[in-house]
Amino acid sequence: MIILSSYKSTKTLNQSFMKFYSKKNLHFLLHDVFQIETLSQYPFFEEHNEETYNMVLDACTDLSTQKLRPILTEMDRNAPDFVDGRIKVHPDMKDLMQAFGDGGWINSPLSYEEGGQQMPYMIFNATLFIFGAANYSASVYPFLSAGASNLIRSFGTEAQKASFLENLYNGKWQGTMALTEPDAGSSLGDISTSAEPTEEGYYKIKGQKIFISCGDHDGVENIVHLMLARIKGAPKGSKGISLFIVPRLRPDAAGNLEYNDVTTGGIFHKMGYKGAPIAHIITGEKDDCRGYLIGEANKGLLCMFQMMNEARIAVGFNAASIASAAYYASLQYCRERSQGRRVGTKSAEQSLIIEHADVKRMLLFQRSVVEGSLSLLMECSRYADLVRVTTGEEQERYEALLGLLTPVAKSYPSEMGCLSTSTAIQCLGGYGFTEEFLPEHFYREARIHPIHEGTTAIHGMDLLGRKIAKDQGATLRILIAEITETIQKAAAVASLQAHATNLGTTLEKLVDTTMNLSMLGMQGKLEAFLSDATLYLETFGVVIIGWQWLKQGLVASQKLDGTDDEFYQGKLYTMEYFFEYELPKTRSLLKTLQSKTSVTVDIQDGHFD
């Protein structure tokens, strides 16, 4: 029983070691819903099977439990410090980066020839989820390196690969994505960092970057920035942006490292996610910052979008992982905390709060968000794996579906993760608002994700204005066919018929709304067309998660047939909750999207005073 009056209670101090994700749910999604073993029919994955996948997940859980989770609170309470021009991080990060490198966690999806394990993205991203649920701040260091090294691997020269990849993969060096500038923000076409060509083949880089995750720290020997800059004389806007490798320390001809005129200007102090530093980087103050062009000149954004799209899926996993950790923290509390009596009883003893219907509603909400989000993210990971091993029209189909769902996979877990972690705090009541209990920590941690890798509004405009419109709705029609297939299968199961009908009706209304909004775009009324793109993304997301819950419900109902397994029964209860409590929210959203109001367009600056 929790000793609520004492900060020094054993239960309170040991919260760092409580459950942070469901192994059974992850296995359910991987093996039962998405049948990851079917990937073994492709030569690239043929050496893997259920046993190898589970061994990887178990090893990830062991590392998370033994190394990441114990320093969760320490990394939050003792944030990185800016000392004498450098950023100092938690002392365990050096050993952790070494462990990530030695364990092959950074480059596991790569081919055997490249030193990888040919691991499916479904498993790689599952490890991202587990690490993030254990300790989000610690988990981002290696996966930033994975993204940066993938860009060098995809677009770099053989010399560049030889110079940088090995040390990024083994955890000795840190990779980053350096995009944002003080005066540009998400508008990358407005960046001012310059690159001047030299006769020696490198470029002189000069400018500033802000909000660079792990942009400087003492847990590694070197920092390698994948940086956007504009070559002098290049076209204005996004068409004149190039991508460069800009290391803090550059290798000379003998392989020794020398300072590359990359200075840390300071550190940003965040409300959460404190264990990973966010740096202000200044390049070329002494006119000696060397950058190495990667890919073609003026095609930097095309290269960077590969990393950004990977990062957007990763942000979705990160958001789901934090929501998962918060859910299990609140679930444990609700199972131990006694307060009040269950409605309709006259017991002298207080009830555990998990017996109260409203508390169960809050737990169901959290579980529906966590497991619905994780299901969608696994769907996207499966598409990413199939893109790697198929060809022709089949490959194009999976690539298009992945592109269409990426804004949803990034934004739904991010936005709903904030609400889910807030609900975890509510389950604890006043204790949830204190540092002595973990949900407060997770609530602060979650808030970055609607901002990371493009704000929700940007992804709303991307979904409605680009992804749906770019091929006259062809990819949307493919997705609708996928959802419809699930609806038809569910309609054949008596217990799922009502939910199948409900989702089908909502899908039809979403399609009608999409067509009406698209007409505004075709008429040239672009501001009206995109003014409520965020609401459209929200509606789209609820429908997609409904699809994922119906898929899970189909499998759970088959597994439950003839048994009384509480896990599968819990799945069906959570699915029912989603269809009765969450899916109906689309009615008001669709009504707003169909409205003729132009209030958000018409109102002007002076009207807000």
How far is Cα 169 from Cα 148, in angstroms, rounded to an integer?
A: 10
Q: Please, which residues have CB within 8 angstroms of residue 417's CB and are 6 or more apart in sequence?
A: 319, 320, 322, 323, 369, 373, 446, 449
Sequence ranges of the domains in the chain: 455-598
- Dihedral over alpha carbons 347, 350, 353, 358 (to 10 degrees): 50
- Dihedral over alpha carbons 184, 189, 195, 201 (to 10 degrees): 140
How far is Cα 266 from Cα 249, in angstroms, rounded to an integer?
A: 18
Question: What is the average pLDDT score of the chain?
Answer: 93
Joined together, the tokens standing for residue 64 give: 């998370």
Reported as a pLDDT band with limits 50, 70 and 90, residue 191 is: confident
Q: How many CA atoms lie within 13 A of 457 on its CB side?
A: 5
Reported as a pLDDT band with limits 50, 70 and 90, residue 2 is: very low
Q: Please, which residues have CB within 8 angstroms of residue 113's CB and are 6 or more apart in sequence?
A: none
pLDDT digits (tens, 9 = 90+) for 244-255: 999 999 988 887
Beta strand spans in 53-94 (E)? 81-83, 86-88
Reported as a pLDDT band with limits 50, 70 and 90, residue 9 is: very low
- Residue 241 is predicted with a pLDDT of 93
**Max mean pLDDT range (195-204, 304-313, 345-354, 563-572):** 195-204
Reported as a pLDDT band with limits 50, 70 and 90, residue 3 is: very low
Helix, strand, coil fractions of the chain, as percent rounded to 5: 60, 10, 30
- pTM score, whole prediction: 0.94
- Dihedral over alpha carbons 576, 581, 585, 587 (to 10 degrees): 70
- Helix, coil or strand: residue 262: strand
Q: What is the mean pLDDT of residues 475-486?
A: 97
Closest CA to 372 of 213, 118, 571, 181: 571
pLDDT digits (tens, 9 = 90+) for 502-524: 999 999 999 999 999 999 888 88
Q: Among all residues, which ones are annotated catalytic?
A: 453
Cβ atoms within 10 Å, residue 57: 19
Using a 10 angstrom Cβ sphere, with 0-12 exposed, 13-18 middle and 19 or more buried, the burial of residue 200 is: exposed
Instruction: Provide φ and ψ at 294, rounded to 5°.
Output: -120, 125
Q: What is the mean pLDDT of residues 79-96?
A: 96
Q: What is the mean pLDDT of residues 159-179?
A: 95
Reported as a pLDDT band with limits 50, 70 and 90, residue 309 is: confident
Closest CA to 405 of 383, 431, 425: 383
- Residue 1 is predicted with a pLDDT of 38
Reported as a pLDDT band with limits 50, 70 and 90, residue 185 is: low
Q: Please, which residues have CB within 8 angstroms of residue 353's CB and are 6 or more apart in sequence?
A: 334, 337, 338, 339, 340, 359, 427
How far is Cα 117 from Cα 607, in angstroms, rounded to an integer?
A: 59
Could you tell me if 135 and 26 are in contact, meaning their C-beta atoms sit under 8 angstroms apart? Answer: no
